[in-house]
Chain A
């Protein structure tokens, strides 16, 4: 009746997951009760859950990513503190639990933390920057988000029903085959990643289509903001690489469920093929994450330097160069499998060539500041922190790309330090830079600068205190994923690293405090202009927060930095463009198909994990039925009357006039 599921799946004898589960379930229940008591369900259902507005979906992606970032950080705290206590044995986590934690940490941080955050920015910004009203397939977008959320849900369910994978964030066979991992952990991994992977692929297709087909008049490719270019490159990589992941995990799934032999030890299976395939996705994945972060920095440097991006075309070239070469480097993750000198040489050189693209970008950001008026607001602090951190991470990355050097450092703490150096230094710093930068656009008020600066400095210092010792430990021969440490000499490094984690934790608290303080003081921090930073691209041309239709009339773009051109023209002619003729707007209607499908997909995943076949079949049929019903939908859009559009846009024009007057006053003063 219930497959492998029974009461023993609940970790009653293990206090850490049990208490965590109770706290998580308790707070979730608390939120649900609050929402019900306050009567917020209709609002949430109408405005968020069933919304197909790319901005709402972007915010929900961001919220999911932030929650998962905190979950992943909790895992990190446990790993660092446990390892520091486990010198010569001991610690508080038995191997079966510790191994789940580092596996979950990697899976969650990459696939359910960083990915949703990056997709949040792409979803929110791409249509605004391109001057259009939505993405190409709005309902599809909602389905993509909810499937990602479904995957995240399954990973977290594994905390209190059963177990998560104990194999590392990429479940290498034969360890991940049923012989060596008979529990449900790997199955949780497979279904969670598989479901969210489909969601990511949907979003990738959506954003590629949006950028290729839906730009506003005059927005040629070489006039697009650089963030759109990086989003395009990133989503092209999603479209190219995620099917590889889906296929690879499907093969492992067949091995585990139907005793097939793709990657098994016996019967002609080849586990090395899994390693090749999974990294053929895994390496592009790194660039899927980091390219949009580069895009965020490429928006911040010009804005806070008061001048255009230096070498726009060479930035575009470097982005596409990285996009293509990133598909050709996967073998550097296993030079030590003995592929031979010629193969290692090829992949060593192709990997270090990527540094040409990133090197060019760094110099272009520096020359963007050159001759500027650099304002060190919070987004700019994160960006400068990124330049420093990422250059060092790039250096150690090129070291690891040199096969003989990798022969000493592969899988070591040096490697751990390196990839945190690039992923935290670029992606996480980029996300927080972008959060500070676009928050006023999204919510209509700025974030408190003092708390923001505190959060940055704590995160930056904490990062280096945590990871510098790990570089040293790696060179001392310490390998990663050790549940306990048999070399007392490594103790000092591990202790210092814990201090670093504590500093980062203070940074997290400062970041949360910033949000709380900013919400409390939102009236003081209100951005009435829609352009709080003296921005340059089209998202700053609309109100903060933008109306649901983004632009009352399609902007007409006449050069790079579309909004900067509009603003200069207004300043020169001392007036706004004449009021346009407002026409009715067609907007897509809400749809529950996303949440509906994701609900049944979650049930399907859970049933597959526990071998409850009848539930699996029923929920798969139900999920598919959702699509069928949706496909027969007759009404797709609703009309916003011209008067409504005019009313909203006249309010925006009033604030723009005030902004114009202020800018004129400032120019006259200087």
Chain B
């Protein structure tokens, strides 16, 4: 794996990533999961605004009405209890939270990331490995793999099995919805779907070290036929991801250009997730290091 050292050299691929033209984030969903999450976010906001706005107005109205200089307002120096008001002030938040509790219950179950999406076509399987500091996507059904580029067929659910080779990360494609942690020695599951062809982007949403800021990846949602063609093309060219190549890949590096592997060693993901292949190494000292200030490649920019 080559390490791009100059920031400028890496910039041109950021344009095609679609990062520059991200029209809207999580409130501009491009799939059913994102749409479901965003609907709950918006609904809950409006439910609460219905309580919050009158409360804020009440607070400022009372404060203004009973200002010391307003001698017309009645002064009640001993008034400090009213059973009726107490009943109301406990009831308003309790009722709101009961209502939101229902929303939480239903939303948590319906939008559970582990829950498969309803669909006539079986989901595409993608195995995701977060590495320092790039993403590896393995397509077991197609027998190919990519780095920092995710290609998915539009309109078909994708089942992501997610693990980490080193530290915690979070797999997140903002416009597709739900994010989930990538954790070493564990496999998380996430079901997403892109409704239409288009260019999206994904990122890590959990700080993972010095190269974290560039842990972004391009997401291409393409028609089913184009996806098949892409997979066939990927199979026909490019290096093979065997243990040796993976050993190279898991070294710390950043700003890695998207690339694809024409073949993947069988059960590689399983071996990573069960740590049959040991976790990725951390920073390797480059030249003389300081006692306290161990530098990583990214730190030396």
Question: Which residues in A have some Cβ–Cβ distance to B below 8 Å?
Answer: 4-6, 8-9, 11, 88-90, 94-96, 99, 161-163, 166-168, 172, 174-175, 179-185, 265-266, 270-272, 305-312, 314, 334, 336-338, 340-342, 344-345, 348-349, 352-353, 355-356, 359-360, 362-376, 384, 387-388, 391-392, 394-395, 398-399, 401-405, 407-412, 475-489, 610
Q: Is the CB of A404 within 8 A of B294?
A: no
Docked pose: A181 CA to B86 CA in angstroms: 53
Q: Is the CB of A96 within 8 A of B296?
A: yes
Docked pose: A463 CA to B298 CA in angstroms: 33
Docked pose: A529 CA to B24 CA in angstroms: 60
Which of these binds chain A: B107-115, B224-232, B256-264?
B107-115
Given contacts A96-B293, A99-B210, contact A408 B90 (CB under 8 A): no
* Chain A residue with the shortest CB-CB distance to B105: A345
Q: Is the CB of A360 within 8 A of B89?
A: yes
Q: Is the CB of A405 within 8 A of B14?
A: no
CB neighbours (8 Å) of A384 from chain B are 59-60, 63
Q: Is the CB of A363 within 8 A of B55?
A: yes
* Chain B residue with the shortest CB-CB distance to A481: B207
CB neighbours (8 Å) of A166 from chain B are 209-210
CB neighbours (8 Å) of A484 from chain B are 213-214
Q: Taking the complex as formed, is B237 at the interface, i.e. its CB lies under 8 A from any CB of chain A?
A: no
CB neighbours (8 Å) of A179 from chain B are 279, 281-282
Q: Is the CB of B278 within 8 A of A266?
A: yes
Which residue of B34, B37, B77, B212 is within 8 Å of A483 (Cβ)? B212
Q: Is the CB of A265 within 8 A of B206?
A: no
Given contacts A338-B180, A364-B89, contact A398 B44 (CB under 8 A): yes
Q: Is the CB of B168 within 8 A of A172?
A: yes
Q: Is the CB of A367 within 8 A of B89?
A: yes
With A162-B292, A371-B74, A374-B68 already in contact, 19 other A-B pairs whose C-beta atoms are closer than 8 Å: A175-B207, A175-B209, A182-B294, A184-B292, A185-B292, A265-B279, A266-B278, A271-B184, A337-B188, A340-B114, A363-B88, A366-B62, A368-B80, A371-B66, A374-B63, A387-B56, A409-B26, A409-B41, A610-B292
CB neighbours (8 Å) of A163 from chain B are 292-293
What are 27 A-B contacts with C-beta separation under 8 Å?
Answer: A8-B290, A9-B292, A11-B293, A94-B301, A163-B293, A175-B209, A179-B281, A182-B283, A265-B279, A271-B168, A272-B183, A306-B77, A311-B86, A336-B205, A345-B105, A355-B93, A360-B90, A367-B82, A369-B59, A370-B79, A372-B75, A402-B40, A408-B26, A411-B170, A484-B214, A486-B216, A489-B20
CB neighbours (8 Å) of B275 from chain A are 265-266
Q: Smallest Cβ distance from A670 to chain B, in angstroms?
A: 9
Docked pose: A375 CA to B63 CA in angstroms: 9
Given contacts A307-B79, A336-B179, A410-B205, contact A486 B14 (CB under 8 A): yes
Which of these binds chain A: B95-103, B135-143, B145-153?
B95-103
* Chain A residue with the shortest CB-CB distance to B88: A363
Q: Taking the complex as formed, is B11 at the interface, i.e. its CB lies under 8 A from any CB of chain A?
A: yes
Q: Is the CB of A307 within 8 A of B76?
A: yes
Docked pose: A481 CA to B203 CA in angstroms: 13
Q: Is the CB of B59 within 8 A of A95?
A: no
Q: Is the CB of B85 within 8 A of A367?
A: yes
* Chain B residue with the shortest CB-CB distance to A313: B81
Given contacts A166-B210, A360-B89, contact A401 B104 (CB under 8 A): yes
CB neighbours (8 Å) of B105 from chain A are 345, 349
Docked pose: A114 CA to B208 CA in angstroms: 27
CB neighbours (8 Å) of A4 from chain B are 291-292
Given contacts A96-B299, A402-B100, contact A265 B59 (CB under 8 A): no
User: Which of B41, B132, B210: most chain A CB closer than 10 A?
Assistant: B41
* Chain B residue with the shortest CB-CB distance to A8: B290
* Chain A residue with the shortest CB-CB distance to B90: A360
Q: Is the CB of B295 within 8 A of A96?
A: yes
Given contacts A312-B80, A374-B66, contact A180 B188 (CB under 8 A): no
Given contacts A11-B293, A180-B167, contact A305 B279 (CB under 8 A): no
Q: Taking the complex as formed, is B172 at the interface, i.e. its CB lies under 8 A from any CB of chain A?
A: yes
Q: Is the CB of B210 within 8 A of A363?
A: no
CB neighbours (8 Å) of A183 from chain B are 292-294
* Chain A residue with the shortest CB-CB distance to B24: A476
CB neighbours (8 Å) of B115 from chain A are 341
Q: Is the CB of A392 within 8 A of B90?
A: no
Docked pose: A355 CA to B76 CA in angstroms: 29
Q: Taking the complex as formed, is B92 at the interface, i.e. its CB lies under 8 A from any CB of chain A?
A: yes
Docked pose: A138 CA to B228 CA in angstroms: 76
CB neighbours (8 Å) of A308 from chain B are 78, 80
Interface hits, B129-186 → A, CB 8 Å: 132, 166-168, 170, 172, 174-175, 177-181, 183-186
